[in-house]
Amino acid sequence: MGAATLMFNWLRAKLTSEQVMDVGDSSDLTRPNLKQLSESLTLPSPTRKDELWMAAIDDAMRLATYIPNQYVDGVKEAVISSTTTGRGLADLVPYIASIMEITPHNAHLIALDLTRKVFGNSNKQRMEKLGLKKWRWLHTGGGNNPFSEHVAMSGKIYRFDDPPVINSKTGQRGFPSDLLGCKCRMQAVISFDDEDD
């Protein structure tokens, strides 16, 4: 068994099922730091001391432009406690409904969107920390009004340092779950053939 095959099998065993990956041509094997890789791929059981998790929450709040400024600090604190105490949406939905004075239904949509953003950002950070350069856009089902751009992007490979346009009307570039209601996901692409670097 060649080094590339061993590496592939090892990575496949380590990556979560969410992150099923694709291995490109292995003509030029670049080996990630295995210890770092192993630590980074432990499933998240975040705490307030987890800097990456806190950064993922900051990113989520930055992207959630639909939350009026005066509620941002309170909602952020609620997201931190809902994702670190394990109570999740049970705490977050009633908090958002009461502070923003919106219906439980709308609060649920917002809480879900924020949670998806946090997990999406966390995944993205972990992939980047591993040294991955590329990822694949995966459109997953997506309700009554999927973003047509995202359907068309599904299966395409992009680079972390050159994200695609996610809203053709505004020209905004970004990643899955950046837009409100986007349920798309990011799939790790392991490429041993970085001829374009």
Binding footprint of Zn ion on the chain (CB under 5 A): 147, 150, 182, 184
Torsion angle of C-alpha atoms 93, 98, 99, 102, degrees rounded to 10: 80
Of 136 and 150, CB closest to Zn ion: 150
Shortest distance in whole angstroms from residue 147 CB to Zn ion: 5
* Residue with smaller CB distance to Zn ion, 92 or 178: 178
Instruction: Give the shortest CB-189-to-Zn ion separation in angstroms.
Output: 18
Cβ proximity to Zn ion, 134 vs 150, nearer residue: 150
In the block, residue with structure tokens 């053709």: 168
Contact yes or no for 159/143 (Cβ under 8 A): no
In angstroms, give the least distance from the CB of 73 to Zn ion: 28
CB of 20 to Zn ion, least distance (A): 18
C-alpha–C-alpha distance, residues 21 and 108, integer Å: 31
Locate 12 and state its tokens.
């496949």
Q: Nearer Cβ to Zn ion, position 76 or 150?
A: 150
Residue 105 one-letter amino acid: H
Which residue, 15 or 166, has its beta carbon nearer to Zn ion?
166
Q: How far is the CB of 176 from Zn ion (least distance, A)?
A: 6
Alpha-carbon gap, residue 110 to 66, rounded angstroms: 9
DSSP state of 18: G
Cβ atoms of 48 and 80 within 8 Å: the answer is yes
Tokens 């309700």, located at residue? 143
Angle subtended at Cα 49 by Cα 44 and Cα 51, rounded to the nearest 5 degrees:
70
